[in-house]
Amino acid sequence: MPRILVVDDEADIVTLIERYAKREGYEVETASDGSEAIEACENKDYDAIIMDVMMQDIDGFTACKKIRANKDIPVIMLSAKGTEFDKLFGFEVGVDDYVTKPFSPKELMARINVVIRRHGNRSEEKPAGDEQGKQAGDNSSVNTKDKDRFIESGGIKVDLLGYNVYIDGEKAELTSKEYAILVYLMRNKGIVLSRDQILNEVWGYDYFGEDRTVDWQMKLLRSKLGKCRDQIHTIRGAGYKFED
């Protein structure tokens, strides 16, 4: 039975999510703040975390960052705010999905189902590491022969087995989504990819969020590519294209 952790300092919200999650067949544990969530994740593994942003003690973003530094658990963030800055920051610290309050419990359950299913099937949801890197290679249809280990273009070098990205020899710290987007763009060099194509490849065909998610992630990715950022071209009205 999949186990999820619900983190919110509003008891009514915790009870609501817990009730719906149990109907879906999930084992549910709860925490009332970020500190409790971090401690819980140190002692147990979870298939997903649903966490509020604004909480006493440690906020959701900080707790997410601390948890994701040690464990690869997908996180859905709940927030009364829905600004672009909040979503950008959430994605930057490793949030997998973002739901704005007030929310539909049924929609939240659908998002949890998607995140857990994709986390179990796609290695780009996992952080860097030997095993994760191996799986990333498998899921990207990478030939494990050494000659197929790297993708290089204009100062960007991707180590598909090591799950690392280097800009002019310097390691770039990318999130799993940023890494997956970059690999997809580089594998389709010179081809215009629509936002829907990128969503389908990186998030999956069952993702039902907004396509602005791609723009937010692309903005973050470019910020980490330094002088190579201009290799990702925005094609107005069409999508994105990678070129030297």
**C-alpha span between 9 and 3 (Å, rounded):** 20
| Chain Cα centroid distance, residue 96 | 4
**C-alpha span between 144 and 133 (Å, rounded):** 11
Q: In what order do the strands lie in the sheet with 97-100?
A: 27-31, 3-7, 48-52, 75-79, 97-100
Burial class (CB in 10 A: 0-12, 13-18, 19+), 70: exposed
Structure tokens at 126: 């996992």
**C-alpha span between 209 and 229 (Å, rounded):** 26
Structural domains of the chain, with CATH: 3-121 (3.40.50.2300), 130-242 (1.10.10.10)
**C-alpha span between 171 and 139 (Å, rounded):** 22
pLDDT of residue 21: 93
- Taking only the tens of pLDDT, the chain with its 244 residues reads 889 999 998 899 999 999 999 998 999 999 999 999 999 999 899 999 999 988 878 888 899 989 988 888 889 988 876 566 667 777 777 788 888 888 888 888 888 887 887 776 333 344 434 444 434 444 444 344 455 788 888 899 998 877 889 999 899 988 878 888 999 999 898 999 998 888 888 876 555 556 678 888 898 899 999 999 999 999 988 999 999 7
- For 71, residues 6+ apart whose C-beta sits below 8 A from its C-beta are 41, 45
